[in-house]
Amino acid sequence: MNKGKQGVKIELYDTTLRDGAQGPGIKFSVDDQLRVIQALDDLGVHYIEAGQPASNPKAEQIFVKVREIKLKNSKVVAFGSTRHPRVRADEDPNLNALLRAETEIVTIFAKSSSLHVEEVLGISLNDNLKLIEDSISFLKKHGRKVFLDAEHFFDGYDLNSEYALQTLEVAVESGADLLVLCDTNGGHLPYQIEKITRIVADKFPGILLGIHTHNDTGCAVANSISAVIGGARHVQGTINGYGERTGNANLCTLIPNLQIKMGYELITSEQMSKLTHVSHLVAELANLTPRDWDPYVGKDAFTHKAGMHADAVRKTKVSYEHIDPSLVGNTTHISVSELSGRANLIQKAQDLGITLEKDSPHIKKLLQRIKQLEHEGYEFEGADASLELLMLKTIGVYKPPFHVVSFHARVNQWAMDRPAESEATVKILLPDKSIAHTVAEGNGPVDALNNALRKALEPYFPQLRSVHLDDYKVRILDAQKATKAVTRVLIESSDENRQWCTVGVSENIITASFTALIDSIEYKLLKCPAGNTPKNE
């Protein structure tokens, strides 16, 4: 880690709620936006762009709601454009919406590319300079700090560097507090970004420079770092890199790269340890699955599958981990798979609270069993609960508290224009050796099976009432086999204290689902065994 930049501060500016929300499939409610703002404040982000108040009533509402929240670290920013070419600044709806947002800081974007001025706006280059001057002067007159996003700056610089720099000069003369250089199309590479940023920094030595990059070449984070090397001291991006097209600079990668790797000061170490949590929270609120392979915050960022790697990490973590995962709130994961060796298995068992000695006869048996199941289509890397049950059963220290004698599920479709009816029947051997034969309906056969199981077991195990099925994922293996393909089902469950994942595999999707359901219930009873006496109804 380079300590040479200690004491050099970098401002963080998050635009997840505006630029990030333009990503495909992302839609935040007002309550979601407030939760994101609170999470970013906890993370120590300096500026949070909460949206464009002139775009719609919902966007304006967030600025009213956020005033009720006491933020510890962040300032909320409203975003908009320069005035419309045919409207005076004091009559411009966008600029007046920015004032109504009542934020201390506003960010406005302005065209800095002659192509966009003449071909997109359809006005003269001088008229565009007047838009910038009037808009900034108007906002400054009303007591706002003004950040200028120089839209398409790098493209504009390539096309007409003199004019691109002139837009910045006018912004500075009009009172802009920050100049943000935007690689709006995301088409530049790191060496280009550094060179141009350095030229701008030399031309405006007393002005704070920022960088705003997009990921169209896969270089958004690298480009942001290059801009910092070139003199930028303010970086913009989004959590998880969400954004239009291929997204924006990913703050979850950029923050630790700048601070942990390069020594710049952005947030405290305590705040840094919340990074993984914030990443996953925002993904959940955006209704997107967290990317397991993401640097620093992904579940697989510190996962070790090869036996040699796992053995080395067990001896010294720096052998295959570039940082301590706890710095960013993540953890080391040892994966058990057909590639695993004895070291993986021992370490994974230890992580699950199971003691396996190096010379244990169970290790060979477990490895053989895992390899056989993975050959059949099982995948335990994302199903720790099923793996723990498998280990305990194989070494003989766990016996299921109930036994499924048989089950049946059917779907009745009386007419294509009416909803289908799903019904399931299960026969269970209970702890007192009696047989429970129950029938239940549900929203689909899996839900019906779950309801039938609960109906049979909850009188004996009332703790099951706190279990919720959170997610149900199906993957078809060997799709070329069509209807004979093997199906793998992952079920995520939770109670008031924990969350767990189980797996089932079969050529029959109902059987695969039922296998995962049984594991989910057994895991709950393993962790919460009390209450196996039937209650009188």
Element (H, E) at 256: helix 251-256
DSSP 17: T
Q: Which residues contact 181 (CB under 8 A, 6 or more apart)?
A: 150, 153, 154, 196, 197, 200, 209, 210, 211, 212, 227, 232
Strands 435-442, 421-429: parallel, antiparallel or unpaired by DSSP?
Answer: antiparallel
Q: Give the mean pLDDT of 296-303.
A: 83
User: Alpha-carbon distance 163 to 161, whole Å?
Assistant: 5
Going from the C-alpha of 361 to that of each of 356, 375, 488, the distances in angstroms are: 9, 22, 30
Q: Give the mean pLDDT of 256-285.
A: 93
pLDDT band at 3 (very low <50, low <70, confident <90, very high): very low
Q: Is residue 536 predicted with pLDDT exceeding 50? A: no
Q: Is residue 516 predicted with pLDDT exceeding 50? A: yes
> Under CATH, domain 403-527 is a member of which superfamily?
Alpha-isopropylmalate synthase LeuA, regulatory domain (3.30.160.270)
User: Alpha-carbon distance 238 to 235, whole Å?
Assistant: 10
For the chain, the domains span: 53-69+80-234+241-263, 303-371, 403-527
CB 422 within 8 A of CB 448: yes
CB 407 within 8 A of CB 450: no
If 0-12 CB within 10 Å is exposed, 13-18 middle and 19+ buried, where does residue 192 land?
middle
User: Alpha-carbon distance 219 to 239, whole Å?
Assistant: 16
Q: Give the mean pLDDT of 337-366.
A: 71
pLDDT band at 535 (very low <50, low <70, confident <90, very high): very low
Angle CA 512–515–519, to nearest 5: 140
pLDDT at site 287: 77
Residues facing 423 on adjacent strands? 410, 441
Going from the C-alpha of 504 to that of each of 5, 53, 465, 516, the distances in angstroms are: 51, 48, 22, 5
Instruction: Supply 471's token pair.
Output: 């997610």
Q: Give the mean pLDDT of 413-442.
A: 86
pLDDT band at 387 (very low <50, low <70, confident <90, very high): confident
Q: Give the mean pLDDT of 442-448.
A: 89
What would the pLDDT profile of 221-248 be if each residue is shown by its tens digit?
A: 999 999 999 999 999 999 999 999 999 9
User: Alpha-carbon distance 302 to 335, whole Å?
Assistant: 10
Q: Using only the alpha carbons of the chain, give its radius of gyration.
A: 29
What would the pLDDT profile of 12-47 be if each residue is shown by its tens digit?
A: 999 999 999 999 888 888 888 999 999 999 999 999
Does the predicted model carry a pTM greater than 0.75? no
The lowest-confidence range among 183-197, 319-333, 418-432 is 319-333
pLDDT at site 417: 67
CB 147 within 8 A of CB 106: yes
What would the pLDDT profile of 457-480 be if each residue is shown by its tens digit?
A: 999 899 999 998 888 888 777 655
Q: Is residue 529 predicted with pLDDT exceeding 50? A: yes
Residue 513 has, within 13 A of its CA and on its CB side, a CA count of 21
Q: Give the mean pLDDT of 59-77.
A: 92
What would the pLDDT profile of 309-319 be if each residue is shown by its tens digit?
A: 555 655 566 66
Q: Residues of the chain with pLDDT > 70: what percent?
A: 90
pLDDT at site 537: 38
pLDDT band at 338 (very low <50, low <70, confident <90, very high): very low
What would the pLDDT profile of 357-377 be if each residue is shown by its tens digit?
A: 777 777 778 887 877 887 788
Q: Is residue 127 predicted with pLDDT exceeding 90? A: yes
pLDDT at site 415: 61
The 3-class secondary structure across 48-61, one letter per residue, is EECCCCCCCHHHHH
pLDDT band at 1 (very low <50, low <70, confident <90, very high): very low
53-69+80-234+241-263 belongs to CATH 3.40.630.30: no
Q: Give the mean pLDDT of 100-120.
A: 96
Q: Give the mean pLDDT of 315-335.
A: 76
pLDDT at site 476: 79
Q: Which of 179, 240, 239 is nearest to 210 (CA)?
A: 179
